Structure 1
Amino acid sequence: MALSSTQDLETPFTTAVLGSDVDFWRSYIAGRPSPDESFFHLINEYHSSHGQSKTAIAHDVGTGPDNIAQRLLAYYDHVVGSDLNDQALAAAPALIPSELYKRTTFIKSPAEALASGVVPNGVGLGKTDLITVSECIPLLDAPKALDAFHELLRPEGTLAIYFYGRAIFAEGDIHTLNAIYDAIATRICTFLLPFKGTPGFPFHVRGAEALVSRLDNIAFPSESWKGVERYKWNYDYPLLFNSKEGYDFDFEPVDRRAEGEKTIEVIDKQFWAKEWGVEEVKTYLDSVYPNWQKKAGARSTEVDELLEELRNALGGGGSKKKVTFPVVLILATKK
């Protein structure tokens, strides 16, 4: 099927943000969980202990509004940010202080094409010390993307892939609160149907499989990678943003982990903990499902009713409770 425009190919979590302005991206950053500094310390400790500890160039893939690229500037001399979204990249000068922006390079490119010469030679092939892949790996053709990342990295360079999922209420009547949250997210997802039979269906299938697998479906060929470590925080909750009832197709977990890889599973309800009420939950879900109200039309009142149910379960008014998140981080070293 020929596509008439980028809007015809709807992909999960991304298509509706095309054309968004700086104010949207400010709201996006504010509404998303932000890794604490210990998360970056863990990545850098791995980087230091698995070969040459060089910190000249980092590259943030799927950089979006560049919030993670900016965080990497505390550790690396120069940071490259790549993304498909022109508007997100164009927002960077307004979101990054000018003295830091001078140490960045931003590139529009699919992750799978990053080894095709689109990255400037000085910060490109074989010269990158660290690649972070923040919140986009489920949408990528993983084997092709890993090949591109391998070409970009220098020998003994580090690849860090991570993804966080749904909010988890960690205090109060957690069973009720989490059930209402899931009902809200799942109802929103149903407004986006159909997935099956649309041009974006392969992306939805790919994303759902990755999330339900907690990224274990991503294989790291032993001829190219070593020292693979998979961290899973709060693995007692799914990485999916909503339950499977929000989809119009079936999918199951896939495990492509290889012998010798390490898997570290942690339940820590203080991990990335925030105090959230109804407004924070709504802002988060608006960033996960951009412009869902347009698809919902008059049915958006169904979500309003569920949000009020959540408000009451939280204690009414502006009451807030602690939330955390399921997070997966995969670390690997280029051979």
Structure 2
Amino acid sequence: MGGQKGEDVYNQSASFWDSYIKGRPSIPDSFFSTIFAYHASHSASFSHAHEVGAGVGVHSPRLAARFANVLVSDIIESNIQIAKARLQSLGCYTFKASSLEDTIDLPPASMDLVFASTMMHFTDVDKAVRAVHHQLKPGGTFAAGLYGTYALHEPEAQRVWQKLVQAICNNIIQRYGLDNRAKTILANEAAGLDSVGLPEEYFHPAQRIDYNFPQPSTLKDMILPPQYGLHPVSRIGRRDEVVRGVWDKGWFSSLGIDGLKGMADTWPHDEGDGEIVELWEELTGVVGEGEVEGAWMVSLLLATKK
């Protein structure tokens, strides 16, 4: 399957998306409240929002609760068809099959807020940022979230879980033939949202917040298979406000082995891979029939268009 684009990893069936929605975090109200409060402090308009790279519009209803009109876009046409079936009866939505980079064709200054959920690492970041700037109104908000990985608080369980997540990442690389593209995607994801540079001529200084990181390097250590020798790149602006070490228990949960497997099902990998099977057996031996507490590691980027 060599040569496929990274986005094709999420060109999946409706049943996959059902599992994805069940296995991904239940985003606490505090996360969206932070975004909406930030936007309200810079703009009085809650007319038009755009969820980019939306998959099947997983978070679009949360935007529709505050914005009168929500555009749902994704690069995969079949995802947009599923989004239409899920959302058309629920609110005022429009739909567009497009990459974020190609939404440069939207009318200029037409959006109050652009929301990107766990997808910026798949983009050509500079082109994506230009497209966001193009479609935002002056004073509009770019809000990007990343919640791609879960960390366990029990040390031995975390040790095995980290190896398992690395093995799944490696399996996805091999399964989808992403050897060339994966280096950029994984390095950007491992940087949280620090890899998203926002030119000073486009945006006011950004806020960058990390939640629930046990150690600053935990995300990098979990998702970068060591054999690739990758290093995250930071593009934090010199005047950006950076906040680390924030804990939000809204992202915490206690999970047994079935819950952890449900979470892993949101990554389209080969469950029969020998290394992965062995690591599940090892983790099952550690967790047993009980539960372990953990939390999603979350990055949030907020910026206002000049």
Q: Return the TM-score normalized by structure 1.
A: 0.83
Is residue 307 from structure 1 mapped to residue 280 from structure 2 by the alignment?
yes
Partner of 2:155: 175
Aligned mates of 1:215, 1:40 — CA distance in 2? 17
Secondary structure at the aligned position of 2:192 is classed as coil
Distance change >3 Å, CA 258–CA 269, structure 1 → 2:
closer
Secondary structure at the aligned position of 2:249 is classed as coil
1:1-335 mapped onto 2 (5 Å cutoff): 8-12=2-6, 14-18=7-11, 20-50=12-42, 52-96=43-87, 98-100=89-91, 103-116=92-105, 119=106, 124-170=107-153, 174-194=154-174, 200-235=178-213, 236=215, 238-240=218-220, 242-244=222-224, 246=225, 248-268=227-247, 270-288=249-267, 290-293=268-271, 296=273, 299=274, 302-314=275-287, 316-317=288-289, 319-335=290-306
Secondary structure at the aligned position of 2:294 is classed as strand
Distance change >3 Å, CA 87–CA 49, structure 1 → 2:
same
Are 1:239 and 1:327, in contact at CA under 8 Å, matched by a contact in 2?
Answer: no
Aligned mates of 1:191, 1:291 — CA distance in 2? 6
Aligned mates of 2:294, 2:86 — CA distance in 1? 26
Distance change >3 Å, CA 305–CA 269, structure 1 → 2:
farther
User: Could you report, residue by residue, the CA deviation over 1:185-223 in whole angstroms, capped at 9, with x for unpaired residues?
Assistant: 22233334559xx97444312222213323222211111
* Deviates most, 205-214 or 322-331: 205-214
How far has the Cα of 1:313 moved from its partner? 1.8
How far has the Cα of 1:159 moved from its partner? 0.1
Name the count of aligned residue pairs: 304
Are 1:139 and 1:203, in contact at CA under 8 Å, matched by a contact in 2?
Answer: no
Which structure 1 segments of 5+ residues have no match? Answer: 1-6
Greater Rg over alpha carbons, structure: 1
User: Could you report, residue by residue, the CA deviation over 1:291-324 in whole angstroms, capped at 9, with x for unpaired residues?
Assistant: 4237x3xx2xx4333223323322x23x222220
Distance change >3 Å, CA 284–CA 223, structure 1 → 2:
same
Are 1:189 and 1:247, in contact at CA under 8 Å, matched by a contact in 2?
Answer: no
Are 1:60 and 1:133, in contact at CA under 8 Å, matched by a contact in 2?
Answer: yes
How far has the Cα of 1:45 moved from its partner? 0.8
Q: Which runs of 4+ in 1 moved over 6 A?
A: none
Are 1:130 and 1:157, in contact at CA under 8 Å, matched by a contact in 2?
Answer: yes
* Deviates most, 198-207 or 221-230: 198-207
Are 1:115 and 1:152, in contact at CA under 8 Å, matched by a contact in 2?
Answer: yes
Are 1:213 and 1:253, in contact at CA under 8 Å, matched by a contact in 2?
Answer: yes
Distance change >3 Å, CA 279–CA 262, structure 1 → 2:
same
User: Could you report, residue by residue, the CA deviation over 1:218-263 in whole angstroms, capped at 9, with x for unpaired residues?
Assistant: 211111100311001123253348353x264322232222222100
Distance change >3 Å, CA 292–CA 23, structure 1 → 2:
same
Are 1:165 and 1:241, in contact at CA under 8 Å, matched by a contact in 2?
Answer: no
Are 2:190 and 2:223, in contact at CA under 8 Å, matched by a contact in 1?
Answer: no
User: Could you report, residue by residue, the CA deviation over 1:9-32 in whole angstroms, capped at 9, with x for unpaired residues?
Assistant: 3345x42442x3322211111111
Secondary structure at the aligned position of 2:234 is classed as coil
Are 1:80 and 1:104, in contact at CA under 8 Å, matched by a contact in 2?
Answer: yes
Q: Return the TM-score normalized by structure 2.
A: 0.90
Secondary structure at the aligned position of 1:154 is classed as strand
Aligned mates of 1:241, 1:137 — CA distance in 2? 19
Secondary structure at the aligned position of 1:164 is classed as strand
Aligned mates of 2:65, 2:137 — CA distance in 1? 20
Aligned mates of 1:204, 1:169 — CA distance in 2? 25
* Deviates most, 323-332 or 88-97: 88-97
Which amino acid letter does the alignment assign opposite residue 321 of structure 1?
V
Which amino acid letter does the alignment assign opposite residue 266 of structure 1?
G
Partner of 1:4: none
User: Could you report, residue by residue, the CA deviation over 1:272-306 in whole angstroms, capped at 9, with x for unpaired residues?
Assistant: 11222212222222212x14237x3xx2xx43332
* Deviates most, 229-238 or 40-49: 229-238
Aligned mates of 1:183, 1:55 — CA distance in 2? 43
